[in-house]
Amino acid sequence: MDTFAHKDHKDILEIMHEDLQRALKKPRNQRRWGMAIDLKKCIGCHACTTGCMSENLTPPDIHYRPVKEEEIGEFPNVSMRFLPRPCMQCDAPTCTSVCPVTATYKRDDGIVVIDYKKCIGCRYCLVACPYGARSTDVGHFYTGDMKGQTYEVENSGEYGKTFKRKSHWHSPIGNARKCHFCIHRIEKGELTRCTTTCLGHATYFGDLNDPQSLIVKLVSKLNVFRYKEELGTKPSVFYIV
């Protein structure tokens, strides 16, 4: 049976959106958000990276979802492999246990978040993360100074709250920052930005606790791996090869 075939011939995004709506009806502690990335479909266009930058208003040198490009083989037998890397939202995260002030923690729906009001900027979680998924906002602007353009000082909307990068005394400047599966979008019933901007629909998002969801069907195959899962971090991001 073709996983993608439905009698209504719905678009993949529509299917995932329905899965999302169904998950949001459940209590938060019964959800478990996960992501699957089909590496056969990824063409390395970086649309997810730029979409994420736009959605979360990240400053230069911070990328929540970079795409690693790897060249395999030698001429004339050469191919490219692309590996988008969001935060893995690990079930056993190494970053939360090292935070001295509990500013970063795992929510009951599986997403690892950062409380910008608590973070002291010690960067211990950056050191502890084996995926390099965390960044520190040191206060750079695209225009190179504090008198940023409107784009740079607008409310980013992350975590559904108001955060303006007015100066280095204002969070999130000085904080650790990372991908959070676009919490503010999820809670409004929208898919993550990277899912919707992906040109080839290589990114899937959904509730891993919902056996009817598309993502569960996708990750229940043998051709699925999780990045660095031998470290015991139990990532919630799956790669399809």
Binding site for another protein (CB under 8 A): 61-63, 66-69, 85, 94, 97-103, 118-124, 126-140, 167-169, 171, 173-175, 231
Residue 64 beta carbon to another protein: minimum distance, rounded to whole angstroms: 11
Residue 120 beta carbon to another protein: minimum distance, rounded to whole angstroms: 5
Q: What angle do CA 228, 184, 64 make, to 5 degrees?
A: 35
Kindly provide the residue ranges of all beta strands, DSSP E only, lying in the chain, ordered along the sequence: 33-38, 67-74, 77-84, 104-106, 112-114, 134-136, 176-178, 203-207, 224-225, 237-240
Neighbours of 26 (CB within 10 A): 13
> Smaller CB distance to another protein: residue 77 or 102?
102
Residue 57 beta carbon to another protein: minimum distance, rounded to whole angstroms: 16
> Smaller CB distance to another protein: residue 23 or 179?
179
Which backbone phi and psi does 239 adopt, to 5 degrees? -115, 130
Residue 129 beta carbon to another protein: minimum distance, rounded to whole angstroms: 7
> Smaller CB distance to another protein: residue 175 or 192?
175
> Smaller CB distance to another protein: residue 12 or 138?
138
> Smaller CB distance to another protein: residue 100 or 211?
100
Dump the DSSP string for 48-63: HHHHHHHHHT--TT--
Provide the Cα torsion 84, 86, 88, 94; round to 10°: 120
Bridge partners of 206, per DSSP, are 34
Residue 87 beta carbon to another protein: minimum distance, rounded to whole angstroms: 11
